[in-house]
Amino acid sequence: MKLYNTATREKEEFKPNEPGVVKMYTCGPTVYHFAHIGNLRTYIMEDVLEKYLGYSGLKVERVMNITDVGHLTSDADTGEDKMLAGARREKKTVMDIARYYTDAFFADCEKLNIKKPETVVPATTEIAEFIKVVAALIDNGHAYVSDGNVYFDTSKLDEYYVFNRHDAEDLEEGVREGVGVDAAKKNKTDFVLWFTKSKFEDQELKWESPWGLGYPGWHIECSAISMKYLGERLDIHCGGIDNAFPHHTNEIAQSEAYLGHKWCNFWFHVHHLNTNHGKMSKSSGEFLTVSLLEEKGYDPLAYRLFCLGSHYRKNLTFSWEGLDGAASSYAGLVKKVAALKGPAGIAAGDEEEAKRLDASFRDALDSDLNTSMAVTALYDVFKAKIADGTKLALVGKFDEVLSLGLLAAAEKAKDSESEDGGDAGIDGALRKKIEEMIKQRADAKAAKNYAEADRIRNELSSMGVTLIDSKEGTTYKIG
């Protein structure tokens, strides 16, 4: 598999250190609010990556942290802890909101068929580990105490900006909230490993440490948790592109200074989901959640398909029209699967064609996780001249990776089709929209505005909806 590596800026053949086993680390959510669908775009693409590595015969050991302390309102060690701000907003304790939003995050993941990593580690459960790593960094001269805090000394490194060696612009892209200047730092790029009470008096959760009562910096959490659970050599580290700097840059600095050797080979970064006003972010307050999509009648898996339709290394702008398109494609896919006669299994004589179709699915994902090509490979299954059982078997296999829940949705659609016929499998929002458009078209016709009526018919057609006019009125079919 060729995968783009942010560290080398090249598409490289992905090879784990230990043949057959992949050690994969993922930055988990900061649990001070609901995850928005931008965060979840990152987790969807990481989920596809994990599942495709498994599909390719590798065993994936995956660890994710939960950031429940230390992530400040600016990634550059200034401002207050986001968890504290969340707790104040909701008049609850930090631990209460951590528990609540961690559960909410995994509930959203389940709705999007994102697999929960085997090992999930809340930062607050690993304080002793952080203290151990910070103490070792002071001992080996890579960290210092100043004005009550422990800082990492970036001047001791041969190279600090690992991700933007060749192009300063990338640094700009990665920065989340600007770099503040802290007078206690020896160098502008130094960052905090451990905060003490001397600086942030109102922090709710604090622990004893050799440097006083305090709490860990966000970056040290991921390094220490990753090294504890996945060992000294990590194969791949994932996150959104905004994590590349400073978070991942700092993780590399401190992990390699601690270990004395190279730590992680591959860096996989998912680009942003944007709104019309820029990156979707929790702090801006302007964000969409899975629950909100559901309230509007969308199946969360239509959003998963929306994400699969674009490459993870391109920014994706969210629009309701785009989601409608994905919802209609999803309904169409479910309908195609529901129309196949089981049981699933490669029929005699279909072996070669099945192999070819599987190869084109693999080619797509081998090519830097090209999910939209993989979805095209899925559509090719329906067009192929093979038995329905073979098609069902291939759909089931591909969906182990794409995780659109197609077989289950098709079963459900078949059940409801016998109850209400016609448009089974499409979600409420789309059904409502189609019915509304049919009504607008009827009104336009009644007003002899045939151009408008044709425009509506064409728009529906581009959504995959075919209108059927009869004496009784207009019905429709999808696909």
Judged by the rule CB under 6 A, the positions of this chain that interact with ligand AMP are 27, 29-30, 38-39, 41-42, 67, 239-240, 242-243, 270, 272-273, 279-281
- Count of residues binding Zn ion (CB under 5 A)? 2
The 3-state DSSP class for residue 161 equals coil
Contact 238, 47 (CB under 8 A): no
Smallest gap from Cβ 239 to ligand AMP, in A, equals 4
Q: Which is nearer to Zn ion, 30 or 154 (CB)?
A: 30
Partner from ligand AMP, Zn ion, none contacting 117, C-beta within 5 to 8 A by type: none
Partner from Zn ion, ligand AMP, none contacting 225, C-beta within 5 to 8 A by type: none
Strand partners, 12: 3
The 3-state DSSP class for residue 351 equals helix
Smallest gap from Cβ 31 to Zn ion, in A, equals 13
Partner from ligand AMP, Zn ion, none contacting 42, C-beta within 5 to 8 A by type: ligand AMP
Which residues lie closer than 8 Å to 450 by C-beta, 6 or more apart? 444
Q: Which is nearer to ligand AMP, 270 or 424 (CB)?
A: 270
Smallest gap from Cβ 240 to ligand AMP, in A, equals 2
Q: Which is nearer to ligand AMP, 113 or 275 (CB)?
A: 275
Partner from Zn ion, ligand AMP, none contacting 222, C-beta within 5 to 8 A by type: Zn ion
Smallest gap from Cβ 178 to ligand AMP, in A, equals 16
Contact 62, 53 (CB under 8 A): no
CA dist list (Å): 77 to 81, 142, 180, 428: 9, 18, 8, 45
Partner from Zn ion, ligand AMP, none contacting 425, C-beta within 5 to 8 A by type: none
Residue nearest to ligand AMP (CB): 240
Which residues lie closer than 8 Å to 414 by C-beta, 6 or more apart? 338, 424
Contact 460, 434 (CB under 8 A): yes
List the interface residues with Zn ion, window 204-263 (CB under 5 A).
222
d(CA 241, CA 279): 11
Per-residue DSSP letters for 173-193? HH-SS-----TT-SSTT-EEE
Partner from ligand AMP, Zn ion, none contacting 273, C-beta within 5 to 8 A by type: ligand AMP
Q: Is 27 in the site for Zn ion (CB under 5 A)?
A: yes
Residue 246, preceding bond cis, omega within 30 degrees?
yes
User: Tokens representing 258?
Assistant: 């601690």
Q: Which is nearer to ligand AMP, 251 or 399 (CB)?
A: 251
User: Tokens representing 278?
Assistant: 């820029």
Q: Give the interface with Zn ion as residue ranges (CB under 5 A).
A: 27, 222
